[in-house]
Amino acid sequence: MTAGTQSPASVASGFSPRAVLALVLIGVVAFAGLSVLAVYAPDLRAGSDGGAHALSSSAVGFRGATILLKALGEPVVLNRTLPRPTQHVSASALLVLTPGPMTAPHELNAFSDYSHLLIVMPKWLAMPDPEQPRFVKKTGVLEDRGWSRRLLSPFAPSTTLRQRPGWSRPVLLAAGQPFASGRVLPLGRIDRLQTLAGPEWVPVLTDETGGVVLAHAHAHPDVFVLADPDLLNNQGLAQLANARGGVAVIEALKGSAVVFDVTLQGFARTQSLGKLLLEPPWLAATICAAAAGVLMFLHALARFGPAHEGGRAIALGSGALVDNSAGLVRLARKEAALAPRYVDLAKALVVRAAGSDGADAELRLEALARRRGLEPPDVLAAEAARAATPDDVLAVGRKLYRWRREMTRDGR
């Protein structure tokens, strides 16, 4: 069969109800999945932007520190919840903050409820590597032009950062608690070691030249500042000596757990109307609403024809009289008693149409039925007398209707 002679059934087979229903269901499921992903998209960010935070695997990121501490058996948590005044804070957890030079002071001050706080200062200017995703290129060192004093102003009024020129292998010396007196931490090669200075900062670890690498605020003894991030970032941990030094700092300050914050870099889990509808206790209401929508859709598929408009409570006219009479007959279950009466009515209509009124009308009907090749009236009457159910009455009525039309040639 050629394309021009295809039957209508073969052409319409591509638009079968099953295929259309399958497409609709696939579209609904895909839209629902896309909606859920759109709601939770900010929380699913992988953190592969190359920034200086605990989700980043770039040279200036701190993901390696979380992996190292977990491998050493330390409980490590990533904090993606913005601090709230009523937030419950573990009394012994160490919160590690990795702010940038543009971080606002009030953003750091919001974490003051933590009893142990370690602020890792930024050091490197870096930009994403266009040829290698998740990698960065160092473009220089952040020069302190007052941003460190502004950043740490909630804890100390005056702060200055300095960088040692060139590469060096510094040795860190314990200068106070929580390190034991005489503790020595030799480090590997570090490019331009960064130290901290300020009258309100109490040294904890210093280098061999007296520069402060780790200090705590005089007015806030539980707020520590690590001046050089290369003790904890990924590029610094590539050297074993630096990794040992960074772990020693964490172990000296930590309590029950180590919490790395990523909210300062925009990875906070925020609340929204979509999350409210997809999480308990409102999830049950959302499921009920979705189920109601599905049931309404199925009901719309099953309905045939236009919507029925409500009529009068008490109908008027001959049609209402017929409907009421039929309802009474149906209520009394007397449908079978009407079948013989319907035979008499059909015969009377044929007699009237044929003009054969008289005593011989029954004989004329039998003769006319033979000429038409139809059943005689007495056979139809006997069949009507045997009708016992509404279905039997309906079958007899349809047969009598066709018989009457054939007898009177009404359909031709």
Which token pair is 219? Answer: 């007015």
Question: Does some domain include residue 20?
Answer: no
Query: Cα–Cα distances in Å, from 48 out to 52, 218, 235, 275, 354?
Result: 10, 37, 16, 24, 96
Asked if pLDDT for residue 290 goes beyond 90, the answer is no
Per-state percent for the chain, helix, strand, coil, to nearest 5: 45, 15, 40
The angle at the Cα of 57, spanning 51 to 61, to the nearest 5 degrees, equals 45
Q: Are residues 376 and 366 in contact, defined by beta-carbon separation less than 8 angstroms?
A: yes
Distant-in-sequence, close-in-space partners of 241: CB < 8 Å, separation ≥ 6: 186, 187, 188
Query: Cα–Cα distances in Å, from 162 out to 26, 30, 50, 199, 206?
Result: 61, 55, 25, 15, 13
Which token pair is 166? Answer: 């060139």
Question: Does some domain include residue 174?
Answer: yes
Query: What pLDDT does 217 receive?
Result: 92
Question: Does some domain include residue 246?
Answer: yes
Helix, strand, or coil (residue 377): helix
Which token pair is 149? Answer: 């004093």
- At residue 43 the predicted structure's pLDDT band, cuts being 50, 70 and 90, is low
Asked if pLDDT for residue 87 goes beyond 60, the answer is no
What CATH code is carried by the domain that includes residue 135?
3.40.50
Which token pair is 31? Answer: 């839209």
Domain total of the chain = 2
Range of the domain at 367: 319-408
Return d(Cα 28, Cα 37) in angstroms, integer: 14
Q: Are residues 333 and 378 in contact, defined by beta-carbon separation less than 8 angstroms?
A: no
**Count of CB atoms within 10 A of residue 95's CB?**
22
Nearest CA among 55, 253, 225, 249 for reference residue 151: 225
Q: Are residues 158 and 222 in the same domain?
A: yes
Torsion of CA 223, 224, 227, 230, to 10 degrees: -120
Return d(Cα 352, Cα 367) in angstroms, integer: 16
Which token pair is 15? Answer: 């638009």
Report the number of secondary-structure helices (H) and strands (E) in the chain: 14, 15
Q: Are residues 336 and 253 in the same domain?
A: no
Q: Are residues 377 and 238 in the same domain?
A: no
Q: Are residues 245 and 381 in the same domain?
A: no
Give the mean model confidence (pLDDT) for residues 193-209: 94
**Count of CB atoms within 10 A of residue 277's CB?**
14
Q: At 382, which amino acid appears?
A: A
DSSP state of 138: E
Alpha-carbon torsion (275, 280, 281, 283), positive or negative: positive
The per-residue pLDDT for range 165-195, each reduced to its tens digit, is 999 999 999 998 889 888 999 999 999 999 9
Asked if pLDDT for residue 327 goes beyond 50, the answer is yes
Return d(Cα 401, Cα 410) in angstroms, integer: 11
| The domain boundary residue, chosen from 265, 284, 299 | 265
* Mean confidence (pLDDT) of the chain: 84
Q: Are residues 144 and 223 in the same domain?
A: yes
Q: Are residues 364 and 356 in contact, defined by beta-carbon separation less than 8 angstroms?
A: yes
Asked if pLDDT for residue 398 goes beyond 50, the answer is yes
Identify the H or E element spanning 213.
strand 212-217
Q: Are residues 232 and 364 in the same domain?
A: no
From the number of C-beta atoms within 10 Å of its C-beta (0-12, 13-18, 19+), residue 122 rates as: buried
Which token pair is 154? Answer: 């909630």
Question: Does some domain include residue 280?
Answer: no
Q: Are residues 261 and 323 in the same domain?
A: no
Return d(Cα 321, Cα 155) in angstroms, integer: 94
The per-residue pLDDT for range 342-380, each reduced to its tens digit, is 888 888 888 888 776 666 777 888 888 888 888 888 888
Q: What percent of the chain has pLDDT over 90?
A: 33
Q: Are residues 235 and 362 in the same domain?
A: no
Query: Which residues is 224 bridged to in the sheet?
Result: 118, 216
| The domain boundary residue, chosen from 265, 287, 306 | 265
The per-residue pLDDT for range 98-119, each reduced to its tens digit, is 999 999 999 988 887 777 899 9
Asked if pLDDT for residue 385 goes beyond 50, the answer is yes
| The domain boundary residue, chosen from 235, 265, 295 | 265
Asked if pLDDT for residue 42 goes beyond 60, the answer is yes
Alpha-carbon torsion (341, 342, 345, 351), positive or negative: negative
DSSP H helices in 238-360: 240-253, 273-278, 283-302, 317-332, 338-354
Decide which of 254 and 98 is more confident. Answer: 98
Return d(Cα 36, Cα 26) in angstroms, integer: 15
If you search the block for the tokens 């010396």, which residue do you land on?
A: 173
Question: Does some domain include residue 75?
Answer: yes
Q: Are residues 189 and 122 in the same domain?
A: yes
Return d(Cα 217, Cα 224) in angstroms, integer: 7
Which token pair is 374? Answer: 């139809």
Return d(Cα 122, Cα 102) in angstroms, integer: 10
